[in-house]
Amino acid sequence: MLVAILPGDGIGPEVTAQARRVLDALAVPGMTYESALVGGAAYHATGHPLPPETLDLAKRADAILFGAVGDPTCDSLERALRPEQAILGLRKELTLFSNLRPAKMFPELADDSTLRREIAEAIDLLIVRELNGDVYFGEKGMRRTADGLREGYDIMSYNEAEVRRIAHSAFKAAQARRGKLCSVDKANVLETSQLWRDVVIEVAADYPDVALSHMYVDNAAMQLVRNPGQFDVIVTGNLFGDILSDQASMCVGSIGMLASASLDANGKGLYEPIHGSAPDIAGQSKANPLATILSAAMMLRFSLGQAEAADRIEAAVAKALAGGARTADLGGSLSTSAMGDAVLAAL
């Protein structure tokens, strides 16, 4: 089994290095690793954020462990050369359409959320975000209006096949959890959302055991603050999923804790922390590597058939936290590698 490791930019290399140490310590038989450049790091070295060798490795691999992309020194490049195009390109080229972003409080961190303890403790939700469509991938560009004004535009759209496949992912996820699915859209304003809602309702007929509800995105952003414990699975489009999953992740304490999986139809996946490249703390060994370590656990479970190894990682993370291990984002002072040490010691 080949795992591609794509560290990327900013704190990406620091956090993936710790995940790699944990994977090495598990010594799962038959696992091999190859690394490649991606994002700003790849642009600076090769002139492209997703060089052909990197895409090729990602295609050959059974699973991908991804750090983060984003590099302020690339802000003025044309869009096609910016770091973000690497992750967008991987998601699209590998048809990784189903992004799973679980948010659950680690009991050890109940005091880290800015939400009141009883509200934060009740959070146990999964955001299923569509990752191959929406305003992310429609035609976009700069043009001139009839009066000669500069205008930026982006076409938002979903077709029924795109909505259907993510809806099936979400209904299945809800079946495996508490049987509740909330579809989030803005159907009172957007035709894209109206199609979304219509198709989700059609797919619901195949899942009579799942309780489906619908919520407008503005209300969802509010409900995630008011009473996040009401949610089991949320399914939504690429743009709303981007916003709501970051919000939800902060509700459980630190975005430095949350892992994600981006899956294709066959269970091949890319695994990455929800946090970004955090250029402000890059290279200072301050970043929390747990989201990436937990992403490695998701990878073992979902793409590599190694549920037991995944359980071991998750237990070790919980044990390290219970033992008081804390990076700066969690109010502590451990360095990135010292947090890695703590997890290794707990393994």
Ligand X SMILES: CC(C)[C@H](C(=O)O)[C@@H](O)C(=O)O
Q: What positions carry a catalytic annotation?
A: 136, 186, 218, 242, 246
Shortest CB 242 distance to ligand X, Å: 4
Nearest to 68 by CA among 112, 28, 11, 116: 11
Using rule CB under 8 A, residue 73 touches a copy of itself: no
The reply, when asked if residue 245 is annotated as ligand binding, is no
> 54 vs 192, which CB is nearer to a copy of itself?
192
For ligand X, the binding residues (CB under 6 A) are: 70, 84, 87-88, 188-189, 218, 242
Q: What angle do CA 334, 295, 89 make, to 5 degrees?
A: 120
| Coil, strand or helix at 65 | strand
The reply, when asked if residue 116 is annotated as ligand binding, is no
> 228 vs 237, which CB is nearer to ligand X?
237
| Coil, strand or helix at 308 | helix
Shortest CB 79 distance to a copy of itself, Å: 7
- Using CB atoms, what's the residue nearest to ligand X? 84
Shortest CB 35 distance to a copy of itself, Å: 24
Looking at residues 110 to 139 of the shown chain, list those that interact with a copy of itself (rule: CB under 8 A). 114-116, 119, 135-136, 138
Q: Which does 196 bind (CB under 5 to 8 A by kind): ligand X, a copy of itself, none?
A: a copy of itself
d(CA 84, CA 71): 9
d(CA 94, CA 45): 23
The reply, when asked if residue 208 is annotated as ligand binding, is no
Residue tagged 């709501």 (tokens): 244
How large is the greatest C-alpha to C-alpha distance in the chain, in angstroms? Answer: 66
The reply, when asked if residue 287 is annotated as ligand binding, is yes
Single-letter amino acid, residue 17: A
DSSP 8-class letter at 138: S
Using rule CB under 8 A, residue 186 touches a copy of itself: yes
| Contacts of residue 312, Cβ cutoff 8 Å, sequence gap at least 6 | 26, 347
Shortest CB 76 distance to a copy of itself, Å: 11
The reply, when asked if residue 276 is annotated as ligand binding, is yes
